[in-house]
A and B are shown apart, each in its own frame.
Chain A
C-alpha cells in the first residue's frame, strides 16, 4: 500500500520569505501523480500544484514550485514570496492505480 509522510507538523515563515514543505512517499508503482493541496481554515481543499511522475521537469505554478526526486521518492513544495493568504494546512497526496492517499498535513503560519 502507498504511504505519504509529511514530517513537519507545523512550519512558520515571515511574509515575503521562502519556505519549503517536505513530503516523502512509498510506492512500487512507476506511473503515478503527486499533488499538493491547500486547506485554509474555511476547510475547502484547493489544488496547489500537480506533478506527473513521468515528467522530469519540476512543476511550477506562479509562486509555488516543487522539487520532485523520483529515485528518493521525495516531493517538496517551495513557496516563494510568502503571503498572509498562504497560511493554511498543506497536504501532500499520491495517486497511483488505486486511491488518492494523503499525508497528515503541515500547518503553515505566515508571520507579518
Chain B
C-alpha cells in the first residue's frame, strides 16, 4: 500500500513569492491534515479536512495561507506571499476518521530567503 505522498520534497524561494505544496493521502483515508513543523519543535496543525470540508482551520494564517481539497482526495496548500518566518517543514498526514492514528508523508522543507 502506498503511503502519503508529498511534493516537492524541497523548495527554496525568495520572500514575497508564492509557493504551493501537494499531498496525496492514503487511499480510503477521508481525513487529511496539514502541519507545520519548525526546527526543533513538534508539528502544529494548520488545517484538517474531513472529505472535502475544512473542519478545523483555526490555526491557518488566512491572510497568506490557503488550502483546498477538491473531490476529497488530493490537497494543496498555498502560501502567497511567503515570508521569512514561513521557513519550516510542511507535513501532510491522513487517517481513517478522526482520533485514529495518522500516517505522515515525508514533508516539504521550505526555505524562504
A32 to B105, CA, bound (A): 24
Question: B43 to chain A: which residues have CB within 8 Å?
Answer: 45, 91, 102
A residues sitting closer than 8 Å to B (CB atoms) are 4, 33, 35, 37, 42-47, 50, 91, 93, 95, 98-100, 102-105
A37 to B91, CA, bound (A): 14
Main secondary structure of the interface of A (DSSP, over half): strand
Residue contacts A-B, CB under 8 angstroms, 10 given:
A42-B106, A44-B105, A44-B106, A45-B91, A47-B102, A50-B101, A91-B42, A95-B98, A100-B102, A104-B41
B residues sitting closer than 8 Å to A (CB atoms) are 33, 40-45, 48, 56, 89, 91, 93, 98-107, 109
A95 to B97, CA, bound (A): 12
